[in-house]
């Protein structure tokens, strides 16, 4: 990959890793579903403005709103809700590590729902190592009922939802939907879906006080940086470097989340959780396959 692509990849990892930090800050004053709504609504506004500037619009004949709604449910509404609720119970760095299992769950989902992505050989080894990493992360607390354990399971549920979204989202290419349109469509549909749910369950008008400036700044960072801008970078890297190289971002996201959690939020992870992260990282490296390839001989 070129230096420019590497810079974009690192930038994307910072933006997505920062989403766990921004969410943790916002959740100090706002309930999870309200944070989800703000994230997708502000991102939808930004991405639709980008489309308008480029002379395009989602609001016309032929827009696949049903597909956008399904993608928004699987890729935004369900995982954001689970992660944000999970972060009310566990550290943001731990949530990011659990989120890094998404490619492993994608491997599993694609095995059962597609014909060209079967688990065999190295992929099976990667999946087993990753599952061991998850077992180490959760630890014996899985046998004991507790909010921390449920919070970790919620983040794993979010990773599973992302996996279904990854498989489902393949259809947009065959449908001829441009990447930016797909991104804007799914967050717009997500906004429409989450609005009534948020109003019913969170009752935002009953908040004791209006959010502070820090909370509004966190929401802006979550929506504009970690969602709208991140999507633009994501699709740009996907077009230039392909999905295999894009997988590298999964290794890097927890680094940003853990550093921000430790330096700003005073979060501390246990040695067991770092051990789990190393196993998940090894599984992703096996899945990527790069470290096992023989280097090309110099000509």
Q: What is the pLDDT along the chain (299 residues), one digit of tens a residue?
A: 678 888 988 999 999 999 999 999 999 999 999 999 999 999 999 999 999 999 999 988 889 999 999 999 999 999 999 999 999 999 999 999 999 998 889 888 888 888 877 777 788 888 889 889 888 887 766 555 567 889 999 999 999 999 898 888 878 877 888 888 988 999 999 999 999 999 999 998 888 778 999 999 999 999 999 999 988 888 778 777 766 667 678 878 998 999 999 999 999 888 888 898 899 988 888 877 766 665 555 44
What's the distance, CA 201 to chain centroid? 24
Distance of alpha carbon 246 from alpha carbon 239, whole angstroms: 10
pLDDT for residue 30? 95
Give me the number of domains the chain comprises: 1
Domain residues for the domain of 56 are 3-291
pLDDT for residue 178? 84
Question: Is 243 among the domain residues?
Answer: yes
Question: Is 298 among the domain residues?
Answer: no
- For the record, the structure tokens of 173 come out as 């290419």
Question: Is 299 among the domain residues?
Answer: no
Question: Is 249 among the domain residues?
Answer: yes
């Amino acid at each position: 990959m070129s230096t420019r692509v590497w810079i974009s990849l690192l930038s994307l990892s910072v933006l997505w890793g920062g989403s766990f930090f921004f969410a943790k800050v916002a959740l100090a004053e706002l309930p999870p579903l309200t944070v989800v709504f703000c994230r997708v609504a502000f991102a939808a506004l930004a991405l639709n403005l980008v489309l308008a500037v480029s002379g395009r619009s989602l609001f016309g004949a032929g827009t696949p709103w049903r597909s956008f709604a399904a993608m928004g449910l699987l890729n935004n509404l369900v995982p954001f809700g689970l992660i944000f609720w999970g972060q009310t119970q566990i550290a943001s760095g731990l949530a990011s590590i659990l989120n890094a299992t998404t490619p492993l769950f994608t491997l599993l989902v694609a095995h059962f729902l597609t014909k060209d992505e079967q688990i065999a050989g190295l992929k099976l080894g990667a999946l087993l190592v990753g599952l061991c990493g998850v077992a180490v992360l959760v630890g014996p607390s899985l046998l004991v009922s507790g909010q921390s354990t449920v919070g970790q399971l919620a983040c794993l549920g979010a990773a599973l939802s992302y996996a279904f979204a990854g498989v489902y989202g393949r259809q947009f290419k065959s449908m001829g939907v441009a990447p930016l349109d797909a991104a804007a469509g799914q967050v717009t549909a997500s906004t429409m879906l989450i609005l009534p749910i948020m109003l019913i369950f969170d009752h935002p008008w009953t908040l004791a006080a209006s959010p502070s400036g820090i909370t509004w700044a966190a929401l802006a960072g979550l929506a504009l940086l970690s969602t709208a801008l991140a999507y633009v970078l994501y699709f740009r890297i996907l077009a230039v470097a392909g999905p295999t190289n894009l997988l590298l971002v999964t290794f890097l996201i927890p680094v940003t989340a853990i550093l921000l959690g430790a330096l700003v939020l005073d979060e501390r992870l246990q040695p067991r959780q770092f051990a789990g992260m190393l196993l998940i990282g090894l599984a992703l490296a096996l899945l990527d396959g790069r470290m096992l390839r023989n280097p090309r001989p110099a000509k």
